[in-house]
Amino acid sequence: MVVNFSIVLDNGKRQNFEGYRIIHNTALGPSKGGIRYDTGVHLNEVKALAAWMTWKSAVTGIPFGGAKGGIICDPSLHSKTELEKITRAYTKALADIFGPEKDVPAPDMGTGPDEMGWLMDEFSLAHGKTVHAVVTGKHLHSGGSLGRVEATGKGVSIITLLALKHLKIRPYKTTVAIQGFGNVGLHTALFLYQKGLTIVAVSDISGAFYDAEGINIPELILYYNLNNKSIKGYTKATVIEPEKILSLAVDVLIPAAKEDVITKENAATIQAKIIIEAANGPVSSGADAILHQNNVLVVPDILANAGGVTVSYFEWLQNSLSESWRMHQINTRLEHILTKSFESVFAVAAKRQVTPRIAAYIIALQKVAINQEVNDVTIDSSKYKLN
């Protein structure tokens, strides 16, 4: 779906916007996927991200299909009032597409609980009743779930510990480098730090820091929050070139920033034993073969960063059942689902002698294909009446 709409800006002028919503597959359940506000949003990107969501839900066994949305805009250039108008206009244009049993949006780049709250409210107005389950990632007072903000980072940390156990590496004093210190990287760093791992390097768009003895993550998070969400200027670690964070001699490398940061050009320089893909597509297809040859274990993104969609599912479930779960329930269920998914992927990888990435896609594609076949038979059977 491609939508065009306009809003009146705070200065009285009218501005046009273009937005997208792609539904990739609904064989396993309602389509699910974030909405991003960014000037770089384009149709092909949204298509690819929608497909990713299908496989991510399938590999973890969550009853959702894949979707993704986006609006071409720079949210930093708009006031809260303008962002609300943009969100409501986009929702109004797609009011027949969204729905708890049809298509469930969530936050992504440039969006958050505010946008999800406006979307829920606008959808509810269009349907004459409050519909909490139409969207996830909301504020707690609007029907959001405990643990949703830190869910992806929590999931990455769970998968990291499972990967260490798989390779029989003790977590205590295991060294970790994390590229990206946004929501995912920050929470991943905090959870791993609390488990006794040594975070020796972190980076964000402003720079990178290294300390062989380990960075004090709670202290860095405090600095980050007081420094306008940036680690720039942090003085309790050594400044290094941002690209060097990928080639450090660490046990675990966690790219949590953007896609295609590890390519066939730099794959041979990777010294980490394990790469956990916290971002979507940080390891290019060209790099995969080189890393496999060099015995680097790569845990694929559709498994590694599935904590977000898993807790989104919990939020949708709580809204649908009119329940509110405690933090302990959410963490226990999240760990159970991710552990089961990890074990399934690595069992298939061992059985078929393939990489975990290929194993994850084998599992996901099989689930979708089997359900698609059942759905197609059901659709076709209605054409033929019994005598």
Active-site choice (32, 56, 68, 273): 68
Range 339-344 contact pairs with CB under 8 angstroms and sequence separation of 24 or more: 339/158, 339/162, 340/61, 341/59, 341/60, 341/61, 341/303, 341/306, 342/159, 342/162, 342/163, 342/303, 344/59
- 3-state DSSP assignment of residue 289: helix
Q: Catalytic site residue 68?
A: yes
Going through 264-330 in order, the beta strands assigned E by DSSP cover 274-276, 297-299
- 3-state DSSP assignment of residue 341: helix
Q: Which residues contact 203 (CB under 8 A, 6 or more apart)?
A: 178, 179, 180, 181, 209, 231, 242, 245, 257
C-beta separation of 207 from 231 below 8 A: yes
DSSP 8-state code for residue 85: H
Tell me how many degrees the CA angle 276-280-282 measures, rounded to the nearest 5.
Answer: 60
> Token pair for residue 229?
């969400």
Averaged pLDDT in 10-residue chunks for the chain of 387 residues: 97 97 97 96 94 95 96 96 98 97 94 96 96 96 93 97 96 94 95 97 94 96 94 94 95 94 95 96 93 96 95 96 95 97 97 96 96 71 51
- 3-state DSSP assignment of residue 202: strand
C-beta separation of 247 from 266 below 8 A: yes
Residue 297, phi then psi, degrees to nearest 5: -80, 120
Nearest Cα residue to 201 out of 190, 212, 191: 212
pLDDT of residue 387: 45
pLDDT of residue 385: 53
Q: Is 365 exposed, middle or buried (0-12, 13-18, 19+ CB in 10 A)?
A: middle
Distance of alpha carbon 78 from alpha carbon 94, whole angstroms = 22
Distance of alpha carbon 375 from alpha carbon 384, whole angstroms = 15
pLDDT of residue 377: 63
Pairing assessment for the beta strands 31-38 and 14-25 based on DSSP bridges = unpaired
